[in-house]
Each structure stands twice: as C-alpha cells, then as structure tokens.
A and B are shown apart, each in its own frame.
Chain A
C-alpha cells in the first residue's frame, strides 16, 4: 500500500531555532499533502494543505510565516517551524491523498522546544 515516510520521528530544539520536518511518499505521487498538529489527548487539527508546485493554503489561525510549507516535488513536502517557541511543542503529522487507497499518514514528529 501507499506509504508516507516522515522524518524525524522526534526532535528537541532550543527556543528561537528552526526545525524542518520531511514527508516523502515512497511508492506513489502525492499531488496534495496535508499537515496536521496534534496536542496531547486531542484530535488532529489541520494546519495547511499543500499542492505540488504551488503555495500552501493555511487554516485560519495558523501563521504562514512561522510554519513554512514547501511541496517542490510530487514525492516530498516539508514543514519548517521557524523561530520555534515552547508553545509550538506538539506532534506534527503529514498525510497524503493516495487515490483509491484513501489517505495515508506519516508516523508523526514529536517536536519539543526547550
């Protein structure tokens, strides 16, 4: 089945630094990638939708200058958390539409900002 590889699985960074999270579709072309954030014991909240070769569409309340999304190819989408602060600590998950296979999710990235 369709697989999305997400890296890193966890990262600790200092406040004020930037962190990049990568999601790669391994055996299919992901025209559209979705990025979610999940706080402990809560549901997945959509942050943005990215389409290959175009600018991402951000949900209301999500700072586009803080959460930079790049979808430069059909197999790679990245999320960069810029100038991270402790309140950005969360679980970030990417998802891709895999045609008839529905949606497939990455394994998630646990970001801790100290």
Chain B
C-alpha cells in the first residue's frame, strides 16, 4: 500500500514558468512533510519542509502548500530554471526517528 502518492510522474516547464508537483498521503499520523531534490548519482537533498500547523511555507523560489483536511501538499517552484531540472520527491513521516515514506518522484525538465 503506497502511503504517499505523487503526481505527475514527469513534468516539462518553460524557463521562467511555475512548476507544480502534488502529493497526497493516507496516514493521518504523519506530521512532517519534506520535499527533496535529487540529481543523477547523488543522494536526495532537502529543499523545504512543512509541519501540519501551517498551510504554506516559502523559501526563496520554493513554496509548499499544505491542506490538512484534504491530506494533500504540493511544491511550487517559481521562475523555474534549467538548473532545477532534477527528480523531486515528496515524503512524509511521523516526526523524528521514524523513517520517511517517499512518493514515486517527479522528473522535472526545465527547457529554455
């Protein structure tokens, strides 16, 4: 049973556009929702994370929107750049010392 569902599987965005990736979760005990960026051959790197007590968090060009009642959260990348081309994973966990559960990933390509 997949606990975190991520869409779309792949995404092509024009340079300067907005990239939007969505995730839905099932386990209401989850209380930590991070997004990771991964380049080929590298480990995942934390982009931004949110706890369920807020509905939105912004860091630079990256914004997480969180809807607790719908059990959904999304990543918005503003002013997308070719350097943002990577695979993005959403994840969820019960905070601290429990493993992250990952979505299946979204391959983002930003074209000039």
Contact = CB atoms under 8 A, between A and B. Distances in A.
Given A102-B46, A108-B42, A108-B43, A34 B100 contact: yes
Given A42-B104, A43-B104, A97 B96 contact: yes
Contacts of B101: 46
Contacts of B44: 44, 93, 105
Contacts, number: 49
B100 A43 contact: no
A31 interface: yes
Given A43-B102, A44-B102, A102 B45 contact: no
Interface string A72-114: 0000000000000000000101010101001111111010000
B105 to A, nearest CB: 5
Contacts of B102: 43-44
A32 interface: yes
B34 A102 contact: yes
B104 A97 contact: no
A22 to B, nearest CB: 14
Given A31-B97, A49-B99, A105 B45 contact: yes
Contact of A93 (B43, B49, B103): B43
A95 B102 CA distance: 13
A66 to B, nearest CB: 20
Interface string B7-41: 00000000000000000000000001010100001
Interface in A44-60: 44, 46, 49
Interface of A: 6, 31-32, 34, 41-44, 46, 49, 91, 93, 95, 97, 99, 102-108, 110
